Amino acid sequence: EADIYQTPRYLVIGTGKKITLECSQTMGHDKMYWYQQDPGMELHLIHYSYGVNSTEKGDLSSESTVSRIRTEHFPLTLESARPSHTSQYLCASSAGFSTEQYFGPGTRLTVT
Amino acid sequence: GNSVTQMEGPVTLSEEAFLTINCTYTATGYPSLFWYVQYPGEGLQLLLKATKADDKGSNKGFEATYRKETTSFHLEKGSVQVSDSAVYFCALIDSGGSNYKLTFGKGTLLTVNP
């Protein structure tokens, strides 16, 4: 069973607030990913990292930022939340040459 | 570029019915193909995968065969259960070079009624 954690699971905040979504994995995986899942279920890659101090933007443009200071930790930050950021955010990780990604349970964000 | 097209839902079946969810892909290289499942309120779980043409992935009674000639990876199960109700995603990784990014289909919601 995969050991990848996301906190909080649910978050409701007001417009303009700064938020950080946490993602941690205990598997020692070098690669980590953030996906945004819209209400229609479609998944979009917004950030990825292939190792410490390495981050890249994904296929969908996002106003969020990420950092990868430690292998196990890949937080996502929104400096000023807006209603258009309302979505589910899924974190995932993978190891080495493996193509299998392990997903966390997700954070459901609502911006009012 | 890479893309995945899967059968639009929602799909509603009775328990013990046969399930097929169609998936076709386009890729520039030689992709690995996956089916992921998302149960209500949870993240995605890998259901099965196939890494080369004619491979068959299978798990929990689900099967899918990598068909290069038709660029397809259809998901099948002979007898669905209520507990199979979930969203199913077809996905690929184009295994050329150092690309590890998944390309997903839009997802198919399956509801199985008792």
Q: What is the DSSP string of B25-91?
A: EE-SS-EEEEEEEE-TTS-EEEEEEE-STT-EEEETTEEEE-BTTTTB--EEESS--GGG-EEEEEE
Quick one: what percent of chain A has pLDDT higher than 90? Answer: 83
Query: Considering only CA atoms, which of A69, A23, A30 is closest in space to residue A51?
Result: A30
Q: What is d(CA A33, CA B25) in angstroms, rounded to the nearest whole number?
A: 22
Q: Looking at residue B97, what is its pLDDT?
A: 56
Place of tokens 């400096």: A79
Nearest Cα residue in chain B from A89: B43
Averaged pLDDT for residues B88-114: 87
d(CA A21, CA A89): 9
Among B46, B49, B106, the residue with its CB nearest the CB of A42 is B106
What does the pLDDT average to over B90-96? 83
Mean pLDDT of chain A: 93
Q: Which of residues 26-45 of A touch B (CB under 8 A)?
A: 31, 33, 40-43, 45
A34: Cα separation from own chain's centroid: 3
> What would the mean pLDDT of A43-50 be, rounded to a whole number?
93
A99: closest CA of chain B, how far (Å): 6
C-alpha–C-alpha distance, residues B55 and B95, integer Å: 15
Integer CA distances (angstroms), A31 to A20, A54, B62, in order: 20, 10, 28
Average pLDDT value for chain B: 93
CA distance B84 to chain A (A): 17
What's the Rg (C-alpha) of chain A?
13
Confidence tier at A105 by pLDDT (50, 70, 90)? very high
pLDDT per residue as tens digits for the range B30-85: 899 999 999 988 899 999 999 999 999 999 999 999 999 999 999 999 999 999 99
More confident: A99 or A29: A29
